[in-house]
Amino acid sequence: MSTETTPLPSMRYTAVTFDCPDPAELARFYGKALDLPVAYSSDDFILLGQEGAPGLGFSRLPGYQRPTWPDPAREKRAHIELGVDDLDAAQAGLLALGATEPPSQPEPDRWRVLLDPAGHPFCISTLV
């Protein structure tokens, strides 16, 4: 086994993409929540972001099934963490945009877990 390594070409982080049944619905939710414009749009994929900064993508997945967090029947694959100044105000605003609150909150005084319109868990925290 060789211990030589070939240097990787220069790379940069460009986006995280979430599978979902309706990219437009999820892009509307996160676009309003994070004040991000649409950078690219097609019927099956939408990318939100500012030029020169990483973005969030939403890709249509036929047969998509919502995660069932906290029930492990269909586990989440990843989640996003959002920093906020006021947990209660942020939660109320996100619920008004279409987020839902799951039945379990592991540490509600430190962070809150919410579900986006496609069922992906995400966290809001004053710690970030």
Write out the H or E segment, with its range, that includes residue 30.
Answer: helix 23-34
The model's pTM is 0.79
Confirm if 84 and 126 have CB atoms less than 8 A apart: yes
Quick one: 115 exposed, middle or buried, by C-beta within 10 A (0-12, 13-18, 19+)?
A: buried
pLDDT one digit per residue (tens) for the chain, 128 residues: 556 777 877 767 788 999 999 999 999 999 999 999 999 999 999 999 998 899 999 999 999 999 888 888 888 777 888 999 999 999 999 999 999 999 989 889 989 999 999 999 999 998 85
Q: What is the DSSP letter of 87?
A: H
